[in-house]
Amino acid sequence: MKPAVLLVARLPDSLVGRLRERFDCHVLAELDDAGLAALAPRLRGMVATGESVVARELIACLPALEVISVLGVGYDGIDMAAARERKVVVAHTPGLSTDDIADFAMALLLAAARQVVNADRFVRSGGWTTGRFPMTRRVSGARLGIVGLGRIGRAVATRAQAFGMDIAYTGRTPKADMAYRWCIDARTLAASVDFLVVCASGGADTRALIDADVLAALGPTGVLVNIARGSIVDEDALVEALRERIILAAGLDVFCHEPHIAQGLLALENVVLTPHMASTTGATVQAMLDLTFDNLAAHFDGLPVPTPVA
């Protein structure tokens, strides 16, 4: 018999097709409580996304669960403590999107600082025929702060070096193999840079890490970019900082309650908003789909899972 697998998120049709060929797939959204309870003793696998919430309660009601394969790098929605207690293997798809996300971080940084979106609107509305667009913030040679110098943070730093930027970072501990300046916390970092790019992992430890104090330290010529997790930035504080010009601008690809965006952000012109698209190039998405399938298949083939969560 095919191993029974629970799909807890909306997945691309191409991946669902491959999964159905190999596994007995059941979609959580199509099950009521009785249906889930009836299937629970047979459900050995689960497929989720980086935005999925897999709570302790769900894990607890699946006694046969062995593996969770996450389509995405982040897994902060998975109750890892519950998974470890049950010895459930959790796998994800790290590394594949690093370059795309770092590219997009720089795109947002440039768009926010140079007001690319507003300039586009200015031209389309005929504003150029009556005057010049206002001057914008220079990027080259500026000071860049990175919150979280992991794979993506390092890739952002590499790109920033090409702009002649002076790079500093913060994280739990200094990186012995990195010559960039380390700051003890996000506020100290923000006070010493012009641009602050958030690349940290999500979760309880980083929730609202970028708060009103950090934004005030970044200052009225500072620009915030977030391509990590929406939960890392206090959105109410950010709306206030942008509205009152406590900071100059922001570029955001992630949000606290996406796809629902705070009305305060939507009303502002000094923020660039994109729909969590940093990693979604065709090549990267296909590689992530393949690895999501391979992680699940390897487990049931009795092979080491290619990319387990550490």
Q: In the chain, what are the domain boundaries? A: 4-94+283-300, 98-273
Set 137, 229, 235, 299: catalytic member: 229
Instruction: Give tens-digit pLDDT for 255-289.
Output: 999 999 999 999 999 999 999 999 999 999 999 99
Give catalytic status of residue 26 as yes or no. Answer: no
| Beta-carbon contacts of residue 218 (< 8 Å; ≥ 6 apart) | 190, 191, 193, 196, 224, 247
CATH topology of domain 4-94+283-300: Rossmann fold (3.40.50)
- Mean pLDDT along residues 37-52: 96
Of 21, 121, 138, 258, which one is the catalytic site residue?
258
pLDDT tens-digit series, residues 184-200: 999 999 999 999 999 99
CA distance 172 to 175: 9
276 in active site: yes
DSSP reduced 3-state for 193: coil
pTM of the complete model: 0.84
CA atoms of 308 and 192, how far apart (whole Å): 37
Helix (H) or strand (E) holding 27: strand 24-27
Convert the pLDDT of each residue in 45-90 to its tens digit: 999 998 899 999 999 999 999 999 999 888 989 999 999 999 999 9
Domain 98-273: give its CATH architecture.
Answer: 3-Layer(aba) Sandwich (3.40)
Is-catalytic flag, 235?
no
- From the list 61, 54, 2, 51, the residue with the least C-alpha distance to 26 is 2
